[in-house]
Amino acid sequence: MTITVSPFLRNVLLLDAVASGATAILAMGGASFLSPWLGLPADLLFWSGAVLVPFVAFLVAASRRETLARMTLIDIIGINVLWVVASFGLLVSGLVAPTALGIAFVSAQAVAVALFAELQFIAMRRARIQTA
C-alpha cells in the first residue's frame, strides 16, 4: 500500500532531515568541545551524530518521492520514537552523568524528535492511500 506524499508530509520530512542533519553536524564536529559542557562522553556524541547521517539521507530521499510505501513512513516514525525512548532512557540509566545543560540538550532534541514523529503520524493518517 502506498500513500501520496502531500506537501505537508514533504515539509515535515524535510524539516526532520534539516534538524537531524544539524544535530549530526553539531554532535560529530563539536563532540570534544561539547562533551565537558554537556557531561556526555565525546564518543557518544560523535557516534550518535554519525548514526543520523544515513537517516538524513533516507528522509531526503523519501521527501522527494511522489508516493511512499506506507510501511516506509511507519519505519521513519518508528525510528523517531526509538530515538526518543533511547534519549530519555540514557538520562535515567545512570550510564552517564550529564550536566544540567546536557539534560536540557538531550531532552530538547528528544522532544523535537517526538514532535516530528507526531507530525509524520498525522500526515500518514491524512494521506490519500493508493492501491496498486
Cell numbers that stand for 34 in this block: 561539547
pTM here is 0.92
Into how many domains does the chain fold? 1
Host domain of residue 125: 2-130
Instruction: State the pLDDT at residue 131.
Output: 59
How many CB atoms neighbour CB 64 within 10 A?
11
Cell numbers that stand for 66 in this block: 511522489
pLDDT averages per 10-residue partition of the chain, 132 residues: 93 98 97 97 97 98 96 97 98 96 97 98 85 56
Instruction: State the pLDDT at residue 132.
Output: 54
Residue 15 CA from chain centroid, whole number = 10
Contacts 24+ apart (CB under 8 A), 107-111: 109/23, 110/83, 110/84
